[in-house]
Amino acid sequence: MSSTQQLLLGEGAGGGAAPAYIEDVFSCFLYAGTNASQTITNNIDLSGKGGLVWQKQRTSAIGHRLFDTVQTLGNELASNSASAVTNAGNLTAFSSTGFTVASSISDVGETYATWTFRKQPKFFDIVTYTGTGSARTVAHNLGSVPGCMMVKQTNGNNLWTVYHRGVDATNPQNYGLWFQTNARDLDTYWNNTAPTSTVFTVGPKDGTNASGQTYIAYLFAHDAGGFGLTGLDNVISCGSFTSSGNYPQITLGYEPQWVLIKRTDSATDGDWMLADFMRPGFNANAALGNEATYILKPNTSGAETTGVIYAGPNATGFSGYFGAGSRSFIYIAIRRGPMKVPTTGTSVFEIVARSGNNTNTTVGTSLTADATIIKCRSTVSGSPFPLWADRLRGNLYIRMDNSIAPEATSTNLLQTNPWDVQAGVKVGTGGSSSNATNASGQTYINYLFKRAPKFMDVVCYTGVNSGGQTLTVTHNLAVTPELVAIRNRAGSDFFVYTAPTGTSNTLYINLDNAATAYTLVSSPTASTFTVNGVANVDTNTYLAFLFATLAGVSKVGSYTGTGALQTINCGFTSGARFVMIKRTSSTGEWYFWDSTRGITSGNDPYLLMNQAGTEVTGTNYVDTDATGFKVTAAAPAEINGSGGTFIFLAIA
């Protein structure tokens, strides 16, 4: 049977197994304490497949807790302690969709992070064994050579012993590391024998193989493939890098969501540092040295801290500042998801209409959101232009006004760490002078987007044009983008490329201009696009939003105006929930509608993406249709002028 036939039958390229995706085997999940037990639904099958839940209270000096499905339910180890396994009943259940924590690790006023690793070939495995006091091999089911192994004696006090392939360029099997201390040790923990894809070897050392003692080993793969539709994609890497006080680029071939980093050339400055995309500061802003990364240290019980490293992801890996002078590091990195292509608009796009309350508020409940657009609908003082923000830049936002102001921060608009929540985004108090998000007595519309293959992506990059050259930018949309909106983060117009207008024309979201003859983006592909001129000024940093047509989910398209009622078929089955239209053949505003405010015959409230104006009601410009939407005969020339050309973005 060919690999193509296997995939059509739901089998992976490896033969027999369905395709594996990172979102099936790994989860970063945040929760707030309630003084009651909580069921964490992260859609990881722990009861059926087995795995590890690693939990840490972020706000207080409480130790790390590691629970796994191989030991007795509730058994826990602490990465920051040499103590034997204990069982205080802190974790009470594993399920096919997550796990349940007891009230004892759900204190009101405290916040928690969890990282779940499901057992899966070429990703993660758990092994238990009994020591013999002499060299022996231990079988495993990782299906590849381990990149890192963490071993702990369970029935007595003993330090965690760690193997990592990056600790030495030639003989990493001759060294041991620990969670509780900063040094590395040249000794026979692994019997000076490299692990293989079926076994690892332990020598006559108490940390890994004392006679009659029981041990557990957590094994992590390295660049082993095994994931994605073809089974060739990597999702976990165990590597090393050197920093010389600069900003090294660590290339993984994917964008990470979780990294564990340790310095290996110093006995006094080698804390383990754990960062992830759900907690603040692991973002593109931190990678530039402009925002500290929030880290937890597995070798200590300390609360979350900042100011240690400045690191963040990009489309192909991560980079940042890791201290002055020459330093050597090892890391484990895990790929960002989802890898699966979404099949419904509701899984990647949420609409929230609400009233402002002048109080710090979390907006949205259904998505772990990656980006948001917020627009005031009612009359207020100040400048309620649409606000654009995204997880990749942390607490920075861009106002869609004509002043082309640089990105900024404001706790009146977005809270200090707006993405530090499992679902939605945290908006600020509003206030009298900066009221684009939550002013009391005003109404708002909020759009929340989740990055997903073939639907939407967000990219940050730095320009290099000092002599007319172009720059090729990597993205993770996994399909050729059909709409790319680019903004210079230091201030500029919001430039737009669309497939219907072609690479030789440019639009501007903040302006009403017709398509202008200018090549901004060229050669877009499923993994890159090339930028030129104002989208590539040397050393300037840029933000890009990418959208594509995805069957049943989104549509980037165009139509010709008729002045009469016409149906715009987007290939949907239940109609469009969001529609944005721009005339390209002459001037015209960027109109947008959504089904939450109402797309109904006789009253289609609209707003403008490029204006501070309030919502306009009582119009009949756009109507519903199961396949997409309709533009009506009542629509003005900017929406349906006869002979005019128009582009649109619709989301189901």
User: What residue segments make up the domains of the chain, in order of their start?
Assistant: 22-118, 124-220, 236-335, 345-449, 456-547, 554-651
**C-alpha angle 287-290-296 in degrees, rounded to nearest 5:** 65
Predicted pLDDT of residue 382: 58
Q: How far apart are CA 29 and CA 22, in angstroms?
A: 14
Show the tokens assigned to 622.
């756009």
Phi-psi region of 69 (alpha: psi -120 to 50; beta: other; left: phi over 0): alpha
Predicted pLDDT of residue 159: 93
Q: How far apart are CA 222 and CA 165, in angstroms?
A: 9
Predicted pLDDT of residue 411: 87
Predicted pLDDT of residue 558: 98
Predicted pLDDT of residue 439: 87
Q: What is the mean pLDDT of each run of 10 residues along the chain (652 residues)?
A: 34 60 98 98 98 97 97 97 97 98 97 98 98 98 98 96 96 93 86 98 96 98 97 98 94 98 86 97 95 96 95 97 94 98 98 94 96 89 81 94 87 93 93 70 94 98 86 98 97 96 96 95 97 94 98 98 98 98 98 95 92 91 97 98 98 98
Q: Is the dihedral of CA 553, 554, 558, 559 positive or negative?
A: positive
Predicted pLDDT of residue 4: 34
Predicted pLDDT of residue 180: 79
Q: Is the dihedral of CA 596, 600, 604, 609 positive or negative?
A: positive
Cut 0.75: pTM above it: yes
Q: How far apart are CA 509 and CA 609, in angstroms?
A: 7
The residue behind tokens 């684009």 is 436
Predicted pLDDT of residue 334: 98
Predicted pLDDT of residue 9: 31
Residues in contact with 377: Cβ distance below 8 Å, sequence separation at least 6, in sequence order? 353, 442, 443, 444, 445, 597, 605, 607, 614, 615
